[in-house]
Structure formats: structure tokens, C-alpha cells
């Protein structure tokens, strides 16, 4: 959802550091989260003001700006409201950097997936290559470090695991192996 708002900010020509304008867009956005796209590239689709934003959510432009937009208190308030609405009264799996600490602090099970910066960079490189982008390892590492610094130091909902979260280090694990570990936790709860 933060990527979707960031994409909207960029589409509308708003400066990604203009908190007032970005927060206004976040409060007014019509965002719908739906089933994954047919190409299997994402776990869900995201529609923004009637347009499918899914193909653009991992673009280099959005990647560079998402931490700038998502650190804004007004944007965070608007999206936390939308995320809580999405979770109201239905079983849901929700992923994000503050779901267990801010959005759904009373969730039955909280899992914090972690990986070393090198593993995360390797995955980003692979993802970029799948999308046809040529990116260098040093660029990816620098971007990861920048985003982590912004997300960890923001005043509202900083990046950190919830005190009662189960932390899973995913270094060297396949998606299927990670899913297996999470399902074991679900079945045990």
C-alpha cells in the first residue's frame, strides 16, 4: 500500500518529500487490494483510483521514493486506517514493516522475517533481473542501507520486530521453506 501511494505521488508529479501533498493523496486515495495478477509476479494486485498499479510497485522510481513517502506521519495514519479496515472481521495475512507493532498489535500470530543485507541484496538483484533491469550489487546494497536507515529512524512506526513476534532468519531458505516454517507456527498456535 505504501508503494501504491508512492507510485501515485510520482504519477501526480508530487515531490516525494512534500508531506502535506503526499498525505492529502493518501487520505483521498481509493485503493483496492485484490487477487494476484495472472502472471504470478505478486501476491496480490493493488488498484489505485481505478488503475492497476501492480506492475509499477517495484519499479526503481518507486523503490527509491517509498521510504521517503512512508515515513510521513500523515501518510502512515491514512494507510494504517485502510489496513485496519481491510483486516476487520476477516482472517488475513498481512505483510509490512509495522504490521505487528502498529497496524495489528493484537494479532494472534506475528512473524518477523529477517535476512542479512547480503541475502536481501541478492534477492533484489534477482528480482530486478526478472523485471529486465540491470542493477549492480553496490547500488542495491546502498539502496537497502538507505531504506533501512530511514525506516528504522522514522518517528512514527519505526522498523522493528514486535516484542512478541517470532523472528525467522530466511538466509539461504527458499520461499517454500519459509512458508513451511510460518505454516508450522500457524498450526501450532
Q: What is the pLDDT of residues 54-80, one digit of tens each?
A: 999 988 899 889 989 999 999 999 999
Q: Which helix (H) or strand (E) holds 64?
A: helix 60-70
pLDDT in tens, 31-62: 988 888 887 777 788 999 999 999 999 888 99
Residue 137: which residues within 8 A CB-CB, separation 6 or more?
A: 121, 125
Phi-psi map region of 88: left, alpha, beta (phi>0 left; psi -120 to 50 alpha): beta
For the chain, which residues make up each domain, given as ranges?
A: 1-89, 96-189
- Give me the sign of the Cα torsion angle 6, 10, 11, 15: positive
Identify the CATH class of 1-89. alpha beta
pLDDT the model gives residue 143: 87
Residue 56: Cβ within 10 Å count: 19
Q: Say if pTM beats, i.e. exceeds, 0.85.
A: no
Intrachain domains 1-89 and 96-189 with the same fold = yes
pLDDT in tens, 81-111: 999 998 888 888 888 888 999 999 999 999 9
For residue 134, pLDDT over 90 is answered with no
Q: Which CATH architecture has domain 96-189?
A: 3-Layer(aba) Sandwich (3.40)
Amino acid at each position: 500500500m505504501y508503494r501504491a501511494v508512492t507510485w501515485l505521488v510520482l504519477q501526480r508529479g508530487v515531490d516525494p518529500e512534500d508531506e502535506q501533498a503526499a498525505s492529502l493523496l493518501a487520505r483521498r486515495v481509493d485503493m483496492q487490494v485484490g487477487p494476484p495478477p495472472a502472471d504470478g509476479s505478486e501476491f496480490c494486485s493493488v488498484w489505485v483510483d481505478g488503475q492497476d498499479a501492480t506492475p509499477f510497485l517495484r519499479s526503481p522510481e518507486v523503490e527509491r521514493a517509498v521510504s521517503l513517502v512512508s515515513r510521513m506521519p500523515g501518510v502512515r495514519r491514512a494507510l494504517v486506517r485502510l489496513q485496519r479496515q481491510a483486516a476487520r472481521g476477516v482472517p488475513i495475512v498481512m505483510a509490512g514493516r509495522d504490521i505487528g507493532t502498529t497496524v495489528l498489535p493484537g494479532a494472534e500470530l506475528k512473524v518477523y522475517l529477517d535476512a542479512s543485507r547480503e541475502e536481501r541484496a541478492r534477492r533484489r538483484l534477482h528480482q530486478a533481473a526478472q523485471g529486465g533491469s540491470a542493477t549492480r550489487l553496490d547500488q542495491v546494497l546502498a539502496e537497502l542501507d538507505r531504506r533501512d536507515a530511514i525506516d528504522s529512524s522514522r518517528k512514527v512506526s519505526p522498523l522493528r520486530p514486535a516484542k512478541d513476534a517470532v523472528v525467522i532468519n530466511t538466509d539461504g531458505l527458499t520461499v517454500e521453506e519459509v512458508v513451511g516454517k510460518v505454516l508450522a507456527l500457524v498450526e501450532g498456535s
